[in-house]
Homo-oligomer: A and B are copies of this chain.
Amino acid sequence: MNNYSERHSVGVVGFRGYSGAELVRILSHHPGVEVVLLEHRSEPEQRPFPLGHKPPTTIPATVQAMRRENLKVVFLGTPADVSLELAPAILEADIKVIDLSGAFRLGDPETFSRWYKERHTAPELLGEAVYGLPEFYRDAIRGARLVANPGCYPTAANLAIRPLLKAQVIDRSRGIICDAKSGVSGAGRKPSLKTSFCEVTENFSAYGIVEHRHVPEVLQNSGLGEREFTFTAHLLPIARGILETIYVRTERVEKAVDLLSIYEDCYANEPFVRLYAPGKVPDLRAVQHTNFCDIGFHFDPETQRATIIAAEDNLVKGAAGQAVQNMNLVLGFEETEALL
């Protein structure tokens, strides 16, 4: 861990949500930043705190207060409508924004409206928002004022699919199928019957078949068309983790190691993408509580069928960890700071 001469103040709105709380936890181990909690909607504390171990002081999520604290970056761990409300004013105040919602991920306001069922109130920012997937947009992120932190499902899907698309070894006419399974924290912390313990424990269900708001995010960043990508989201009876089983037919791939080479060409120097020997695949345990996205696959040369497994922690590489990775790029820290 480096010792930075200068510590920057950064703020977190939505610090009580699962992603927000994970963000605060990760940032508390970062030697280059000081965290400030920004209260958007006050809420009574639910958990008792040990004596003498209070959380960081909290200030209102107003631009005035953010300026007074001299914040360099504000993370928005808020629903899309709240991000749309807060982001413009924060940027106006010359504070950078890393938004964990879907508000700025889709380049087109109509596509946003279709999937998020609300009007986009800041379309003028869509042009400059940078999609925060460092493995593909690192340089743009470094200079960004507004980073749209990727969705949890699209992070794993894009990391698994893009190298093969780029290498043009996928038979796109046969389509790509992504069977995705996620832990319950992906649904957020707001109580609902669907995420109640008794409904989820010892159960398993599909909840987003073909139609899921993360689909257009995958399409936009992979160049796939709507008909080429079939997606299903399932709810796992666990708190955290996403595992995606992706089915493709390849073209012109002779051996499993050739497929591996394509991945290695992309990710050999990536600190947070790990690959496995052909035939070996990660489980969720391999990535929980880490910022890694692990990718393994099984390949059958005769039929050109590849079954790819991508695993990540939805709260870390799928949300808060990637947000810190983006902050490290934006503020010029080591990209891996606080994340290894």
User: For residue A282, which residues in chain B have a CB less than 8 angstroms away from its CB?
Assistant: 48, 50
A234, B227: Cβ atoms under 8 Å? no
Could you tell me which residues of chain A, from 288 to 324, have a CB within 8 Å of some CB in chain B?
288-289, 292, 294, 296, 298, 300, 303, 305, 307, 309
Total copies of the chain: 4
Task: Decide yes or no: A284 and B205 within 8 Å by CB, A48-B277, A196-B195 being known contacts.
Answer: yes
Chain B interface: which of A75-83, A108-116, A238-246? Answer: A238-246
Of A189, A191, A241, A281, most buried by chain B (CB within 10 Å of CB) is A191
A242 — nearest CB in chain B belongs to which residue? B204
Of A49, A202, A249, most buried by chain B (CB within 10 Å of CB) is A202
Residue tally, chain A, CB below 8 Å to B: 73
Q: How far is the CA of A194 from the CA of B197 in the complex (A)?
A: 9
Q: Is A136 an interface residue (CB 8 A)?
A: no
0/1 interface trace, chain A 157-178, chain B, CB 8 Å (1 if under): 0000000000000000011010
Choose among B1, B177, B203, B280 the residue that contacts A284 (Cβ–Cβ < 8 A).
B203
Q: Is A181 an interface residue (CB 8 A)?
A: yes
User: For residue A239, which residues in chain B have a CB less than 8 angstroms away from its CB?
Assistant: 197-198, 201-202
Q: Is A209 an interface residue (CB 8 A)?
A: yes
Choose among B177, B189, B289 the residue that contacts A196 (Cβ–Cβ < 8 A).
B189
CB distance from A181 to the nearest CB of B (A): 6
CB distance from A293 to the nearest CB of B (A): 11
CB distance from A334 to the nearest CB of B (A): 15
A50, B300: Cβ atoms under 8 Å? no
Q: Is A192 an interface residue (CB 8 A)?
A: yes
Q: With A50-B282, A232-B245 given, can you name 17 additional A-B contacts, CB distance below 8 Å?
A: A46-B194, A51-B275, A51-B277, A52-B275, A181-B181, A185-B198, A189-B198, A191-B196, A195-B198, A197-B199, A197-B201, A202-B241, A203-B238, A204-B283, A204-B284, A205-B285, A209-B281
